[in-house]
Amino acid sequence: MVIDSEEARLVAAAKAGDMSAFTALVEATQADVYTLAYRLTGNEDDARDVAQEAYLRAFKSLKRFRGDARFSTWMYRITANCASTQLSRRSKGRHEELSDDDNVLDERPESDPEIMAEAGVLRDRVTAALADLPPILRAVVVLRDVYDLPHDAIASELGITESAAKVRLHRARRKLRERLFPMPGEEKARAV
């Protein structure tokens, strides 16, 4: 893995106590950290809390950061852990939809209005399907399919075995497929 020399310089400076270096690292990763937190929690307020907690933990643990991975990857793992903690505290019945302003699938749809409309409909369907997943399944599918983390990293971050991560991913994908692209007979089974 090639780690950006500027990033490595900022990490070293931040470890040495340079607050402006840590601020630069935060500014470079804050959009991605917030987006991950939002996708895992499905709630703006919770996402802000998770992102803030993640940076607090990163700041406190910075001296232990070995630099084996990119700083952003380390932040993803901390964020996923904070989101898991937040979700376990949150009441189980509370679900909020992602807003239309959040582009889950395509941040730059083509200029064709028909393609834009289709992308919007699909985005809304995927958003609703993700929101309906239990948090333990949603976390696995987001970490794997959106952030492309390997199964062992997902397992480590969620405190489960790699086998459990694979099983949860399989279940999450199956539930999403059943919701988004039901096979004949599945519509009736869901209605019962």
Which regions in the chain score pLDDT beneath 70?
1-4, 90-117, 119, 186-192
pLDDT tens per residue across span 179-192: 888 887 765 545 43
Domains belonging to the chain, first-starting first, are 1-89 (1.10.1740.10), 108-192 (1.10.10.10)
User: With contact defined as beta carbons under 8 Å apart, do 90 and 57 qualify?
Assistant: no
pLDDT score of 51: 94
Instruction: State percent of the chain over pLDDT 70.
Output: 79
User: With contact defined as beta carbons under 8 Å apart, do 130 and 38 qualify?
Assistant: no
User: With contact defined as beta carbons under 8 Å apart, do 189 and 174 qualify?
Assistant: no
* Residue that is written with structure tokens 């803030």 in the block: 52
Residues 92-112 as b or e (16 or more Cβ within 10 Å = b): eeeeeebeeeeebeeeebeee
The C-alpha atoms of residue 49 and residue 143 are separated, in whole angstroms, by: 19
pLDDT tens per residue across span 108-120: 445 556 666 676 7
Q: Give this prediction's pTM.
A: 0.55
Whole-angstrom CA distances from 92 to 87, 95, 136, 190 are 8, 8, 11, 21
The C-alpha atoms of residue 25 and residue 19 are separated, in whole angstroms, by: 10
